Amino acid sequence: MKIWLDGELVDKSQAKISVFDHGVLYGDGVFEGIRAYNGRVFRLEEHIRRLFDSAKAILLNIPYTQEEVIQFTVDTVAANDLKDGYIRLVVTRGDGELGLNPYLCPKASMFIIASTIKLYPEEHYTNGLALITCSTRRPAPGAMMPQVKSLNYLNNIMAKVEAIQSNALEAIMLNEQGYVAECTGDNLFILKNGVLITPLISDGALDGITRSVILQLADRLGVPVKEQSMTRYDIFVADECFLTGTAAEVIPVISLDRRIIGDGKPGPQTLRFIEAFREEANSTGTPIV
């Protein structure tokens, strides 16, 4: 496996960063998860734009242009001879001194991994997921800006631990006001009376790339959309529910906290969105050359 690291493609065994890197010491950095389908990188420009936005928000200077990072990403996928795969692009604050001061790190470090990922077992894409609500809350915007995809993911990890300890694969995270924000790594959608509904970004949801694709597909499929504050009740009484994310793609949900959603099976509209997403993902994107 070849890893792109600070301007070079190196073997996996040689892909090393300093123990003084502030990404390791303090979670100081940003990342993107990106997918490749059928010889194309899906929504690559959008992902790189969001990466640079996240970096700008935390005053992290990426020492390359967006166009260069796009090319580095394609080069890494090509070097690993992948037509379908998962890409993890990480920018750290870089090597520095002990202590929180980021200005003691003279240059950011960047690496790109192109491999594969399987977030959920295949049977759950057919039969659906059972969710729980976790007690770990989504950080308030004043503490951690939810739109920044930072390396500090401990909050999400603790929520995932709660899910696993409850024999669930995924958990819903609420904000401090008790509204639904998102899951530990995915955005959430419900369908009620023919309307597609998803939480507001201002309630703590990440402005997900796959989320945006689903909103675009809804327009194409003629499904009306509402972005609004949601409570657990809205999910309990929904006709259908599904999650979206780069790694998860689109996956049905059949229950929350032991309340059956709809008839307990992936709904017909959910299946339409899954089919439309797969068609979009496999027919568009930046060619891997």
Sign of CA dihedral 231, 234, 237, 240: negative
Tell me the catalytic residues. Answer: 149
Which residues, including other chains, have CB under 8 Å from residue 24's CB and lie 6 or more apart? 17, 18, 92
Q: To the nearest whole number, what is the mean pLDDT of the chain? A: 96
Please say if the pLDDT value at position 143 is more than 90: no
* DSSP state letter for 73: H
Residue 73 — very low, low, confident or very high, per pLDDT cuts 50/70/90?
A: very high
Lowest mean pLDDT among 52-66, 144-158, 216-230, 232-246: 144-158
Distance between CA atoms of 85 and 36, rounded to whole angstroms? 5
CB 199 within 8 A of CB 208: no
pLDDT confidence of residue 204 = 93
List the chain domain ranges: 2-115, 123-283
pTM of the model: 0.94
The first and second tokens of residue 7, run together, are 């301007």
Distance between CA atoms of 260 and 51, rounded to whole angstroms? 37
pLDDT confidence of residue 258 = 96
Distance between CA atoms of 160 and 134, rounded to whole angstroms? 8
Q: What angle do CA 172, 175, 176 make, to 5 degrees?
A: 135
pLDDT confidence of residue 145 = 85
- Classify domain 2-115 by CATH number: 3.30.470.10
- Residue range 131-155: average pLDDT? 91
pLDDT confidence of residue 146 = 85
Give the SS3 label for residue 55. Answer: helix
Do the domains spanning 2-115 and 123-283 agree at the CATH topology level?
A: no
Distance between CA atoms of 32 and 42, rounded to whole angstroms? 12
Distances, alpha carbon 202 to alpha carbons 15, 140, 172, in Å: 38, 10, 16
Q: How many helices (H) and strands (E) does the chain have?
A: 8, 16
In 3D space, the residue among 214, 209, 162, 213 whose CA is nearest the CA of residue 183 turns out to be 162
pLDDT confidence of residue 38 = 95
CB 232 within 8 A of CB 217: no
CB 15 within 8 A of CB 61: no
CB 50 within 8 A of CB 149: yes
pLDDT confidence of residue 141 = 81
Which residues, including other chains, have CB under 8 Å from residue 176's CB and lie 6 or more apart? 137, 138, 140
Is CATH 3.30.530.20 correct for 123-283? no
pLDDT confidence of residue 139 = 87
Distance between CA atoms of 186 and 180, rounded to whole angstroms? 12
In 3D space, the residue among 213, 214, 174, 181 whose CA is nearest the CA of residue 196 turns out to be 214
- Residue range 275-284: average pLDDT? 97
In 3D space, the residue among 3, 76, 68 whose CA is nearest the CA of residue 289 turns out to be 76
